[in-house]
């Protein structure tokens, strides 16, 4: 062997040993830690948690800024996607073991002009374990070497199908969308297994450069890229030339593009409340894969709820149908038009200004309070909520006027549930979640309930104090010496003193009759009624005042619905629930939720109340509602508080229960019209919903269903409910829900004597 040959072999072997040694050092993590075998076998993808309706429809997701992805198995991905990916990104994918030697050699010889030689497995390794691509040449070479090592390990630990699924679950598709499932839903409103050849080509074409090939923002580039993918399918014998030519001639159809976020999707108010509950659940439960509490935004949980998409849609449309009409009524009021409604409430405006982002920004910029206040009075261009198709309009107004404008918007809460199972079917927490995030349904949002509490009071009177529907009751103001209070606070001189049958008093919501019942309970009547509210599972502790009889206390719509379940279910209280189960990303059930039932009322009392509450919708404060809906039986109750600040309607059929509240967040802003009671304002939302739900045969609601009559009920004691409808309404009866007042308004501050309450 000549000296030259020996030198060559020495250099060659030395280089080979050096290269092998260098690779070994890289593999051992000397130049940066590589993922362990456990990490390779259990790759940690940031996965969004998804919420599902009762019928399995997706309602929305919870995710981080870079976590808008949903897990999907290989079997649920269309072959069109798989073929397009392999043909475009790695045509020898099924032949190599992580590194494609031919592709690497081509990349070296052509200096990367025709691709970098990375396989799908290498791209997966980079996406999952490397992060950002280095711009420094030597660092990039080291990074590439790590990708090769990880790619080989991935090939050893996963099948080809698993690698493809991992890649498609991880890759970015622009618009802050990650993973093939989220991309298919966002761009085409499809599941990955339903993507056509051309749709798959569009999405696969994006992975090379998501922002540039986004069909929404750059349709020409996206179309050109799609056509390249189609050509690659032809080259690799996945598609005929004729079919490819036809598909290339088609425009990209994005008519179904819809990116779900917190502001849209099914029931956004509900999902926001759900988010809080789920975060609490995650904090209290440990993920065995990580040993840490579950993360709602990254662990890919699947949350199945009880919401019915059809009922939710009808609930949304009911609110959209009534609220613009009411807002127009409010806006037409003189004190709203001239701004005098704010005359005595400058403190509220001041607090709103100081808590605003504008105030904070200007304060940080060094502006004085005077300068900031001046800026709040300077008109600027802005977008504000409006009752139109887009729910917004461009306008010019001062920031201070925009605060007033938003505070003067009437809000609502509407919830529908199955009174027997407790399943919540629909939830509308306000008029527009994008603009007004505050929810008016959940248990923590409490408003004065007015006369909608009276069915609870009447139930106690029948259950424990031997009242019957035919018991005659005087309609006069009552004095409570133990509390030094009159109820109602104002004399009911416009009333005929009665007496009226109990059923008539409930149907027309006569305040004096309710006061008489509370008086009949004895000196501890308010305390007994407060205990009764606990007995029927009302969570809020209500202070025992005589004014409770008229609903001066504050409860949430959620609580009121829970309390009303005892009527259609004949004495059984059912706690509302809205999560049926929680699964992990693999479909393993982590938790299930079942309704809680408790017998709180005798069957005879509950049935009697359902028959009495039909008086409200037959001849009382919601007269004619049952007839208009064509229902054989139903029950309902209106509620209206001082100055129409809180307007309620609670109602149920033998199959379904719903409740509605309407009012402004600022209680001094309210409808002044004489007819602005719960029966005229909140009831139409309830009625519109039920008219739609009853007409939808797929929901299985019957107009002829009847309440279950207990066998034990003594029919001889039953009242002739129809006879009450023959009576003329009491003077001013339609406004009987008004003027209930608050607990502090019932002290004896007048000169009236006990013997002369008027």
Q: Residue 54 falls within a domain, yes or no?
A: no
For residue range 510-531, list pLDDT tens digits in order.
Answer: 999 999 999 999 999 999 999 9
Final residue before a domain boundary, out of 261, 287, 307 = 261
pLDDT grade for 755, boundaries at 50, 70 and 90: very low
Q: Residue 642 falls within a domain, yes or no?
A: yes
Structure token digits, residue 184: 């298919």
DSSP letter string, 551-614: T-SEEEHHHHHHHHTTTTTTTEEE--B-EEEEE-TTS-EEEE----EEE-S-HHHHHHHHHHHH
* % of the chain surpassing 70 pLDDT: 82
- pLDDT attached to residue 117: 64
Final residue before a domain boundary, out of 234, 261, 288 = 261
Candidates 659, 663, 693, 708; CA nearest to 424 is: 659
Q: Please check whether residues 151 and 176 belong to one and the same domain.
A: no
Structure token digits, residue 318: 């009911």
Q: Please check whether residues 649 and 736 belong to one and the same domain.
A: yes
Q: Tell me the three state secondary structure of residue 234.
A: helix
Q: Please check whether residues 595 and 720 belong to one and the same domain.
A: yes
Q: Residue 58 falls within a domain, yes or no?
A: no
612 compared with 495, residue with greater pLDDT: 612
- Cβ atoms of 747 and 484 closer than 8 Å: yes
- pLDDT attached to residue 503: 93
- pLDDT attached to residue 417: 98
DSSP strand pairing (49-52 vs 302-305): parallel
**pLDDT of 63 higher than 80:** yes
- Assign residue 652 the CATH number of its domain: 3.40.710.10
Q: Residue 512 falls within a domain, yes or no?
A: yes
**pLDDT of 219 higher than 90:** yes
Q: Please check whether residues 555 and 438 belong to one and the same domain.
A: yes
For residue range 95-138, list pLDDT tens digits in order.
Answer: 887 777 665 565 555 544 455 568 888 888 777 655 555 455 55
* % of the chain surpassing 90 pLDDT: 66
Identify the DSSP state of 252.
P
* pTM of the predicted model over 0.75: yes
Domain interval for residue 25: 7-42+91-159
Per mean pLDDT, which range of 14-23, 193-202, 541-550 is the poorest? 14-23
- pLDDT attached to residue 743: 42
695 compared with 750, residue with greater pLDDT: 695
- pLDDT attached to residue 733: 44
For residue range 222-252, list pLDDT tens digits in order.
Answer: 999 999 999 999 999 999 999 999 999 999 9
Q: Please check whether residues 509 and 621 belong to one and the same domain.
A: yes
- pLDDT attached to residue 744: 45
Q: Please check whether residues 617 and 720 belong to one and the same domain.
A: yes
pLDDT grade for 25, boundaries at 50, 70 and 90: very low
Q: Residue 398 falls within a domain, yes or no?
A: no
DSSP letter string, 65-114: TT-------GGGS-HHHHHHHHHHH-TTTTTSSS--HHHHHHHHHTTTTT
DSSP strand pairing (380-384 vs 500-501): unpaired
* Burial readout 151-165 (b: 16 or more C-beta within 10 A, e: otherwise): bbbbbeebeeeebbb
Number of Cβ atoms within 10 Å of the Cβ of 722: 11
Q: Please check whether residues 115 and 177 belong to one and the same domain.
A: no
**pLDDT of 492 higher than 60:** no
**pLDDT of 401 higher than 90:** yes
- pLDDT attached to residue 30: 45
For residue range 279-337, list pLDDT tens digits in order.
Answer: 999 999 999 988 899 999 889 999 999 999 999 999 999 999 999 999 999 999 999 99
Q: Residue 666 falls within a domain, yes or no?
A: yes
Structure token digits, residue 746: 């019932």
- Assign residue 242 the CATH number of its domain: 1.10.3810.10
Q: Please check whether residues 252 and 128 belong to one and the same domain.
A: no
Q: Residue 471 falls within a domain, yes or no?
A: yes
Q: Please check whether residues 153 and 192 belong to one and the same domain.
A: no
**pLDDT of 752 higher than 90:** no
Q: Please check whether residues 560 and 623 belong to one and the same domain.
A: yes
- Cβ atoms of 702 and 655 closer than 8 Å: yes
Average pLDDT over residues 412-419: 98
Final residue before a domain boundary, out of 261, 295, 322 = 261
**Number of compact structural domains in the chain:** 3
Q: Please check whether residues 521 and 565 belong to one and the same domain.
A: yes
- pLDDT attached to residue 149: 74
pLDDT grade for 139, boundaries at 50, 70 and 90: low
User: What is the C-alpha separation between 235 and 390, in angstroms, rounded?
Assistant: 46
Structure token digits, residue 711: 């066998």
Burial of 454 (0-12, 13-18, 19+ CB in 10 A): buried
Average pLDDT over residues 431-441: 95
Q: Residue 208 falls within a domain, yes or no?
A: yes
- pLDDT attached to residue 208: 83
DSSP letter string, 4-34: HHHHHHHHHHHHHHHHHHHHHHHHTTTTSPP
177 compared with 507, residue with greater pLDDT: 507
Q: Please check whether residues 477 and 540 belong to one and the same domain.
A: yes
Burial of 251 (0-12, 13-18, 19+ CB in 10 A): exposed
């Amino acid at each position: 062997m000549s000296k030259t040959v020996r030198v060559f072999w020495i250099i060659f072997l030395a280089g080979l040993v050096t290269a092998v040694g260098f690779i070994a050092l890289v593999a051992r993590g000397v130049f940066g830690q590589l993922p362990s075998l456990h990490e390779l076998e259990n790759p940690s993808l940031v996965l969004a948690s998804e919420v599902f309706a009762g019928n399995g429809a997706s309602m929305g997701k919870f995710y981080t800024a870079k976590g808008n992805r949903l897990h999907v198995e290989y079997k649920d991905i269309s072959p069109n996607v798989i073929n397009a990916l392999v043909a475009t990104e790695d045509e020898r994918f099924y032949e190599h073991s992580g590194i494609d030697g031919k592709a690497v050699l081509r990349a070296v010889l052509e200096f990367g002009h025709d691709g970098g030689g990375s396989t799908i497995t290498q791209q997966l390794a980079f996406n999952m374990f490397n992060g950002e691509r280095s711009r420094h040449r030597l660092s990039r070479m080291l990074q590439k070497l790590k990708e090769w090592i990880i790619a080989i390990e991935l090939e050893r630990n996963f099948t080809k199908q698993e690698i493809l699924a991992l890649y498609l679950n991880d890759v970015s598709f622009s618009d802050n969308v990650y993973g093939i499932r989220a991309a298919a839903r966002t761009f085409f409103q499809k599941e990955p297994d339903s993507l056509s050849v051309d749709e798959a080509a569009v999405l696969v074409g994006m992975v090379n450069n998501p922002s540039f090939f986004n069909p929404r923002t750059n349709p020409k580039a996206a179309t050109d890229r799609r056509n390249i993918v189609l050509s690659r399918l032809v080259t690799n014998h996945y598609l005929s030339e004729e079919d490819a030519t036809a598909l290339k001639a088609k425009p990209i159809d994005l008519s179904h593009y819809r990116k779900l976020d917190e502001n849209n999707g099914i029931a956004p108010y509900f999902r926001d409340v759900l988010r809080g509950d789920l975060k609490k659940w995650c904090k209290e439960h440990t993920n065995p894969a990580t040993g840490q509490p579950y993360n709602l935004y990254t662990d890919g949980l699947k949350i199945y709820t009880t919401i019915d998409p059809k009922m939710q849609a009808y609930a949304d449309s009911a609110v959209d149908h009534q609220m613009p009409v009411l807002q127009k009524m409010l806006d037409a009021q003189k004190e709203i038009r001239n701004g005098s409604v704010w005359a005595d409430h400058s403190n509220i405006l001041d607090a709103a200004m100081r808590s605003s982002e504008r105030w904070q920004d200007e304060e940080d910029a060094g502006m004085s309070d005077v300068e900031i206040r001046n800026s709040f009075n300077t008109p600027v261009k802005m977008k504000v909520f409006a009752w139109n198709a887009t729910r917004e309009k461009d306008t010019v107004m001062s920031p201070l006027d925009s605060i007033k404008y938003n505070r003067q918007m009437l809000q609502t809460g509407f919830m529908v549930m199955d009174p027997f199972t407790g399943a919540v079917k629909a939830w509308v927490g306000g008029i527009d979640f994008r603009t007004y995030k505050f929810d008016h349904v959940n248990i923590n949002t409490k408003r004065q309930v007015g006369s909608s509490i009276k069915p609870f009071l009447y139930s106690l009177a029948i259950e424990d104090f031997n009242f019957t529907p035919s018991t005659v009751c005087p309609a006069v103001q009552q004095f409570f010496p133990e509390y030094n209070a009159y109820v109602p606070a104002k004399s009911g001189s416009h009333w005929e003193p009665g007496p009226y049958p109990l059923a008539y008093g409930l149907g027309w919501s006569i305040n004096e009759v309710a006061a008489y019942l509370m008086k009949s309970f004895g000196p501890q009547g308010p305390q007994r009624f407060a205990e009764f509210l606990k007995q029927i599972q009302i969570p809020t502790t209500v202070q025992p005042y005589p004014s409770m009889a008229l609903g001066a206390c504050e409860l949430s719509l959620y609580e009121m619905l829970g309390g009303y379940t005892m009527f259609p279910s004949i004495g059984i209280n059912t706690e509302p629930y809205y999560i049926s189960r929680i699964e992990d990303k693999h479909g393993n059930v982590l938790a299930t939720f079942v309704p809680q039932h408790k017998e709180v009322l005798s069957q005879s009392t509950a049935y009697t109340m359902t028959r009495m509450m039909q008086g409200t919708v037959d001849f009382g404060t919601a007269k004619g509602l049952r007839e208009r809906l064509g229902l054989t039986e139903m029950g309902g109750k209106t509620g209206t508080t001082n100055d129409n600040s809180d307007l309620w309607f609670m109602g149920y059929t033998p199959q379904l229960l719903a409740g509605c509240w309407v009012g402004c967040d600022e209680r001094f802003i309210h409808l002044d019209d004489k007819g602005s009671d719960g029966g005229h304002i909140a009831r139409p939302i309830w009625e519109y919903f039920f008219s739609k739900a009853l007409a939808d045969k797929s929901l299985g609601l019957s107009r002829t269903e009847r309440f279950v009559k207990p066998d034990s009920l003594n029919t001889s004691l039953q009242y002739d409910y129809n006879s009450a409808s023959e009576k003329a309404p009491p003077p001013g009866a339609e406004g009987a829900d008004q003027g209930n007042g608050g607990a502090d308004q019932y002290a004896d501050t007048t000169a009236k004597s006990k013997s002369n309450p008027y």
